[in-house]
Each structure stands twice: as structure tokens, then as C-alpha cells.
Amino acid sequence: MAATERIPPALLHDEPMARHTTWRVGGPADLFCRPGSLAELQDFLAGLPDGVPIWFVGLGSNLLVRDGGLRGAVVMTGRALNDVRRLADELVEAGAGVPCTALARRLVRWGLGPAEFLAGIPGTLGGALRMNAGAFGGETWDHVVSVDVIDRGGRVSTRDRGEYQAAYREVSAPEHEWFVAARLRFSAGHGDAAGRMQALLAERQQRQPLGQPSCGSVFRNPPSDHAARLIEAAGLKGLRIGAAEVSPKHANFIINTGGATAADIESLIWTVRDRVRERFGVSLEPEVRIIGEPGTGETAQ
């Protein structure tokens, strides 16, 4: 890809995505930008040649980057889009790069809620907006009033909640727009939420393999059931391919036990899906985004 004079000098080339994903796998990105401000992000996008693929990444959770890496430009949002401010008693504005756990703590401190569910989402607000992430019975888009988006030309605009259709782990959104901020409404009078949040986090710590590299939940829950229950009932806890393993602690987590490749993890994902389908007739749908090019000798599904 030809460079242009508007690309920031701090831009990294061929940056290994294994450094920026919670699974600790992933090949190199052609271009890697961590802007320091919204203005720098606008400049970067405006300076990219037409047709260059653009990938927005938050904390690198819920993401599997294949071993061949990513063609195009990766933008990591956390440095630039991390402000949280209270606009009114029950209205908050937050940047897309804010970790959901940090947002949950701020809202709980302000006595706003129900917000403790955000503490169970292992990513940023931008990612939560993109997929309507949820935990503990709460979902992100239940609280959205409006969003700010940026297009590939670096232009920022505001869209109302009514312009989007949100469903379970899915949001309809224009292909070449990315979330940069959101206005969120929560109700006041939730001063007792801190205790509930701590209890939920303790439950999460007990049930999930949080100390090991994973992406969070791998599969969406099918209607009226749970992916983890089906995977465990199929006898797949502890199943390994290479150094990738179905967590013995929580069946809907795949962990990198040390030295796994993205190919190991992806192969295990499809093996689990196929075995659950063979056993129960249910086709589990991945919640994790799988992107990028296969490594040498590999074929993507």
C-alpha cells in the first residue's frame, strides 16, 4: 500500500497482532495506528488511500486474528477515545475506547444503573456497541440514546438510537462507519450497585478462566439454551488442538495454554461446533469475530 504524506510518522508497519489480542495470537497488520486524539484519528483516516481495509480494535477481546495477519490498517482506540462525562442526572457520554469495566465502575460511583452488567464485558464500549454485548442479563443498546460515528474519510456525525436495529449480539450498522462515542441513559438511585457489581465479578472470577489468554465467550447462546451447557454435555471440556484447549472451567471459553496459533484456535472452534451439531442437532454460531488471512498452508473456513 502506498504511503501518503498525511499518515502519522508514529504509524507502525507489520505490527504483530498477537501483541494486541487477548488470545495472544495473530499475524502482522500492514499498518497499525494508536491515535492520541480524535483529531489525529480523523487525519489518519482521511489520509488513507481509497479501498484500504480498516479494522477498529479495542482491547483485542472477542477477536481472533488469523496467523497470516491483516491487510490494511488497524486502529486501536483506547488512547484517544477514553473520556467519560456526565451530561445530566441520568445521561452519560463515553468514548468508544473506554473499557466496559471502567465505565461500569464510574457509573456505579455516580449511583447510576443498572450498570453493573458492563463489568462482565471484557472489551471496550466501541466493541460493545458493535455487537450489542451483554452480561448478567443486561445489554448495551438498552441504554443507548445516540452515538457518534466516524467514516473512512474522517468525518464525524451523530446518529440517533432509532437509526439502528439491535438484537442479541447483533447490531445493524453501515459497513464503513465506526463508533467513536455514545450517549447512554441510566437511572439514578442505584447507590447499592457497588455491592452487586462486586458479587457479579466474584461470580465471574469463580466460573471463568480469567487468568488465562482467551477471547471471552466463543459462541452465542442458542435460543432457550446455553452454549456452555451443550459443549459440556458433548464431553468437550478439556478438548485440545495444539496448544488451544476448551477450558475445563467454562466450556464456552477456549484458552491458549501457551504457544497456540490462531489456526489451532480456529480449528478447535469448528471442531466444537461440529461435534455439538452431531450430538444435539444445534449449530452453534461464533460470537467471536474471526478476521485476517490464513497462515502459510492454511485454508480459512
Using the 3D structure, point to which of 53, 76, 99 is the last residue of a domain: 76
Residue at 21: amino acid letter: T
Chain-centroid distance of CA 128 in Å reads 6
Which of 71, 79, 161, 169 is labelled catalytic? 169
Average pLDDT estimate for 15-26 = 97
pLDDT at residue 67 greater than cutoff 80: yes
pLDDT score at 86: 97
Distances from the Cα of 239 to the Cα of 253, 267, 275, 283, angstroms? 11, 12, 11, 18
Residue 243 burial (CB < 10 Å; 0-12/13-18/19+)?
Answer: middle
- Count of domains for the chain: 3
Choose, from 66, 217, 247, 273, the residue flagged as catalytic: 217
CA torsion sign for 101, 102, 106, 112 is negative
Reported pTM: 0.91
- pLDDT, tens only, 225-246: 999 999 999 999 999 999 999 9
Q: What is the CATH number of the domain that holds 57?
A: 3.30.43.10
Q: Is 152 a catalytic residue?
A: no
Full residue range of the structural domain in which residue 137 is found = 84-193
**Domain termination site, one of 24, 45, 76:** 76
- 125 is a domain residue: yes
Domain boundary among 76, 104, 120: 76
Round to whole Å and give the CA distance between 80 and 99.
12
C-beta of residue 265 within 8 angstroms of C-beta of residue 220: no
E strand or H helix at 46, and its extent? helix 38-47
In whole angstroms, what is the distance from residue 285 CA to residue 269 CA? 10
Q: Is residue 163 part of a domain?
A: yes
Q: Write down the pLDDT at residue 10.
A: 66
What pLDDT, on a 0 to 100 scale, did the predictor assign at position 24?
Answer: 98
Q: What's the confidence (pLDDT) of residue 296?
A: 75
Q: Could you say which DSSP state residue 281 is in?
A: S
Same domain membership, residue 259 and residue 215: yes
Cα–Cα distance measured from residue 138 to residue 281, given in angstroms and rounded to the nearest whole number: 28
| Structural domain includes residue 151 | yes
Task: Given the residues 116, 139, 266, 287, select the one marked as catalytic.
Answer: 287
Query: Tell me: the pLDDT tens digits for 132-158?
Result: 999 888 999 999 999 999 999 999 999
| CATH code for position 235 | 3.90.78.10
Active site residue 155: no
For this structure, is 187 an active site residue?
A: no
